[in-house]
Amino acid sequence: YNLYPLNKMLEALKERYGQVLVLPESLPNITLRSIDTNKLLRMMVNFIENSLKVNSTQIRVNFRFDLCITVITVQDDGPGFP
């Protein structure tokens, strides 16, 4: 697996998607370990692009760190599932 700083991944996503993507004011400065960062990035891109397909105007990414677990949430202002 690659070691990849999470904040660098988020900065790349912000550069790609611009103002529609809302990130925490202070990006977590952690290095992901024991994870395929390419798969994580693909997953994040899929969530963001799915939100854009339903005309979301704001996509918010947040993080929670509990012991050795990182929880990433992606929320948008789209219509949701029927």
pLDDT digits (tens, 9 = 90+) for 19-75: 888 888 776 666 666 677 778 888 888 988 888 888 889 999 888 777 777 788 889
What 3-state class would DSSP assign to 61? strand
Confidence of residue 1 (pLDDT cuts 50, 70, 90): very low
Contact 23, 10 (CB under 8 A): yes
Q: How far apart are CA 57 and CA 28, in angstroms?
A: 24
pLDDT tens digits for range 40-56: 888 888 988 888 888 88
